[in-house]
Chains A and B, each alone.
Chain A
């Protein structure tokens, strides 16, 4: 048996959809409730310590990870998964300190995106320098 399995041509859409449909109501609601106000930014220590770049803002991470998967109905390429991987594994540590004035549970959404990544074997690069 080879050490690493060959990567499929495209991510398993059916499996992604299963994850999405399981949490559909809450996810859809959170994405809708988000007023795109940007007030969550300063509550993220990664945002404040990395030059206050928009891509580290909690809502930006939510919209561009689980939001993207939901919007594209799971039909995403490996390139998109690479971007999501960067967001959910490197730009968020799931410290759950982010604060949304409207009460959106952003960490839960990031955790869900991580679960979908895991299901597709998109994992953090632990050996990366």
Chain B
């Protein structure tokens, strides 16, 4: 079973992930339209300038941030950023993963792998963030009002690889069982990522960089 999960099943799930992501990106460009250039000249004050950090630009940046989600929900913004960066960084730079890559394909990331203490710290940070999201979903009325069983399942599924990985590395419970659960949950995440709620990981970047809006992170050239 272990060989099947880490072999054909993992490769199938990885293929679904890559093809699914390509499908979603192509679909995004088919669903959106390129913005036609306006015939009338835009008044200079409305032309979005390329942002440059300077002493003069700081007050306007502060004012912009104050009314954005950063200013309105600073804690949630911070937790969200830390969580999302950590869940990408930790698996990539985890020594155990890199040793596996080295053994299997001779790819050696080991010099830049995290020492165990940092990996443990990041796992703790990720689990703390997940608990924050969970409690927010349970106790904040507006979030609870739109929460479904599926949202709780997604939180549980996200937490599973980190919990099982941590427990397996530190020798708690049965190593083989934990690794099997670890692999199955990661495979499930790979399948779910392009097609379920996790799809926001793709559309966040597409929306914020390609769709022209007040809050876009670039000038944006497309519209829904």
Contacts and interface: CB of A to CB of B under 8 A. Distances in A.
Nearest to A100: B207
Contacts of A69: none
A36 B142 contact: no
B207 to A, nearest CB: 3
Contact of B207 (A37, A38, A41, A103): A103
B196 interface: yes
Given A54-B142, A55-B145, A35 B224 contact: no
Contacts of B109: none
Contacts of A42: 72-73
A90 interface: no
B163 to A, nearest CB: 21
Contacts of A102: 200, 203-204, 207
Interface stretch (B87-95, B114-122, B180-188, B208-216): B208-216
A36 B143 contact: yes
Contact of A38 (B31, B146, B204, B208): B146
Interface in A39-88: 39, 41-43, 52, 54-55, 57, 59-60, 63
A89 interface: no
A35 B197 CA distance: 6
Contacts of B143: 36-38
B141 interface: yes
Max count, chain B CB within 10 A of own CB: residue among A25, A29, A38, A59: A38
B31 A57 contact: no
A19 interface: no
Chain A's interface size range is: 20 to 34
B224 A105 contact: yes
A25 B27 CA distance: 9
Contacts of B137: 36
Contacts of A14: none
A26 B69 CA distance: 24
Given A35-B200, A52-B142, A99 B207 contact: no
Interface string A88-129: 000000000001011111001000000000000000000000
Nearest to B141: A54
A38 B72 CA distance: 12
Given A39-B69, A39-B73, A57-B145, 15 more contacts: A25-B31, A29-B27, A29-B199, A32-B197, A36-B137, A37-B76, A38-B143, A42-B72, A59-B146, A99-B68, A99-B215, A101-B69, A102-B204, A103-B213, A104-B207
Interface of A: 25-26, 29, 32-39, 41-43, 52, 54-55, 57, 59-60, 63, 99, 101-105, 108
Interface of B: 27, 31, 68-69, 72-73, 76, 137, 140-148, 151, 195-197, 199-200, 203-204, 206-208, 211, 213-215, 224
19 contacts: A25-B27, A25-B31, A26-B31, A33-B203, A36-B143, A36-B147, A38-B143, A39-B69, A39-B76, A43-B72, A57-B145, A59-B146, A60-B145, A60-B146, A99-B214, A102-B200, A102-B204, A103-B203, A104-B207
